[in-house]
Amino acid sequence: MRDVKAITSNLAAVEMMKVEMLTGNVAAAWAARLADVDYIPAYPITPQTEIIETLAKWIGEGVMKAKLVQLESEHSMLTAAGTASLTGARVFTATSSQGLLYGFEMLYNIAGWRAPLVLVNVSRGVAAPVTLEPDHNDVLAARDSGFLQFHAETCQDVLDLILLAYRVSEDRRVRLPSIVNMDGFYLSFTREPVHLPSQEMVEEFLPPYIPTLPFRASRPVVKGASVLGGHIYTYFKHNIHESMRRAIEVFEEASRHYGELTGRVYRPVEGFYLEDAEYVLVMSNSFTTMGKRAVLRLRDRGVPAGLVKIVMYRPFPSDQLAELLKNRKAVAVLDQNISPGMGGIIYQEVAGALYHQRNRPEVLMSVIGGLGGKYISLEEFEYIFDVLQHPEGRKPNTPLFLFRKDELESVKRALGLAGLGGEMG
């Protein structure tokens, strides 16, 4: 255990930490800079591009010592990221939406290679129709790849979670890559106050990356070898699964240390006004700030509302989540994604986590909202809690779509203007 004196002096250092108004993108770039990454393979895509532009500028000016190379596609970018990580470089890279999907097969490879790099995904709805604004179908498509996933609510989270991700990913008990997710526009282009830890603080928190048998002249090594037979394939996959499960504990340990240094502690799942909450909303990412605001408004009116935020999405913190949700009257899961023909993706996972929990909530309701960055108003959040209090006559696993009348009107108006009102409206 660290002694109290050290913590106190560190907390004094916290006071000295620089606070800057940063976009989520620049916060991500700062995290890469503070982590002293060696290599950044890059490829432009909106709304991520500001990250690599910022890093390229810093490297060009000499304030950061790293190599940034612009590849010719995300598929190549992710390949280079993986092999560089195996060679011993601390690697940072970033993409979004179509880019993540274009490089998709490499996600499984990077995880299988046990290359502990950090990839920032700036969420953006997936085409078609093509759009720029966020939802989480892109990042959730990567959920089975073997990447750890951390989802940010604020620009501060972006910076902190990237540093935590490096620590957990590189830990020998885990040794798997991480995705840190932030919402496009709502975080990527929104300035918020961000506390920047000092370089010394980060150095104390994040030890140097020691690669496993990197490519060196004195010691030939084969990586990515093929396997013949399901038994060996299963052996590798099970190894990844076990390492992934260990990551929860390693994250909590790292987070305690980070908290001692910076005063900010992260949990895999975090509660908001949970103590006596009977109606709870489970959600993640930037709209959580709005969800919390709605909880406060409901509390003012005497409604025992609360919120659970999923910070770590892979490994999925099932036990921690079930613990927070037991004994509640009704729970809603807000999915900013859609699996057509099934519903919300996270809803199913929460339901799975609760199945064996004694005293699980009687009502577990699925809500889908914010697709393609569609705004979720305070009124809509309040409506979710209304339904939770009066779930009668509603099939809870049939998702409730957040889509307002005025929004439907606006669609109809646009179709009318285009002369399509008759056939499509």
Partner 1 sequence: MSETRYKTLRDVPLQEYLAPGNPLCAGCGATPVLRMFLKALEGRAVFVNAAGCFTLLHVYPYTPFKSSWMYTAFASAPAGAQGIRDALDILIEKGKVPPEEDVKVVCFTGDGAAYDIGLQSTSGAIERGLDFYYLVYDNEAYSNTGFQKSGATPYAAATATTLPTKLQKEGHTGSKKDLFEIWRSHKPPYVATIAPSHIVDMLRKIEKASKYRGPKLFISFTPCPTGWYHDTSESIRISKLAVECGVWPLKEAIFGEVKHTYVPRVLKPVEEYLKTQGRYKHLFHPQRQEHIIKTIQENIYQYWRRVAETEKLDIIIPPA
| Positions that interact with partner 1 (CB under 8 A) | 38-39, 41, 65-67, 69, 71-73, 75-77, 79-89, 91, 105-106, 109, 215-218, 220-228, 232
Measure the CA–CA gap between 123 and 96, rounded to whole angstroms: 6
67 or 356: whose CB is closer to partner 1? Answer: 67
The strand pairing partners of 365, in sequence order, are: 332
* In the complex, least distance from residue 68 CB atom to partner 1, rounded to whole angstroms: 9
81 or 334: whose CB is closer to partner 1? Answer: 81
228 or 417: whose CB is closer to partner 1? Answer: 228
11 or 69: whose CB is closer to partner 1? Answer: 69
Q: Check: CB of residue 285 under 8 Å from CB of residue 123.
A: yes
Taking CA atoms, 255 is separated from 71, 111, 153, 166, 240, in Å, by 34, 23, 16, 12, 22
* In the complex, least distance from residue 252 CB atom to partner 1, rounded to whole angstroms: 30
Taking CA atoms, 213 is separated from 51, 90, 111, 161, 243, in Å, by 31, 15, 16, 27, 18
Measure the CA–CA gap between 118 and 150, rounded to whole angstroms: 11
224 or 416: whose CB is closer to partner 1? Answer: 224
* In the complex, least distance from residue 43 CB atom to partner 1, rounded to whole angstroms: 10
* In the complex, least distance from residue 372 CB atom to partner 1, rounded to whole angstroms: 29
105 or 200: whose CB is closer to partner 1? Answer: 105
* In the complex, least distance from residue 78 CB atom to partner 1, rounded to whole angstroms: 8
6 or 69: whose CB is closer to partner 1? Answer: 69
69 or 342: whose CB is closer to partner 1? Answer: 69
Residues written for the chain: 425
Taking CA atoms, 237 is separated from 88, 140, 228, 232, 247, in Å, by 23, 19, 14, 9, 15
* 371 closest CA partner among 134, 153, 138, 154: 134
Measure the CA–CA gap between 165 and 180, rounded to whole angstroms: 8
Q: Check: CB of residue 275 under 8 Å from CB of residue 196.
A: no
Residue 385, token pair as written in the block = 């809690």
Measure the CA–CA gap between 315 and 65, rounded to whole angstroms: 32
* In the complex, least distance from residue 211 CB atom to partner 1, rounded to whole angstroms: 9
For residue 192, the one-letter residue type is E
Write down the H helix ranges in 264-402: 288-300, 318-325, 345-354, 378-389
* In the complex, least distance from residue 91 CB atom to partner 1, rounded to whole angstroms: 8
* In the complex, least distance from residue 169 CB atom to partner 1, rounded to whole angstroms: 16
* In the complex, least distance from residue 42 CB atom to partner 1, rounded to whole angstroms: 12
Q: For residue 27, what is the DSSP state?
A: H
221 or 424: whose CB is closer to partner 1? Answer: 221
Q: How far is the first Cα of the chain from the last one, in angstroms, to the nearest whole number?
A: 65
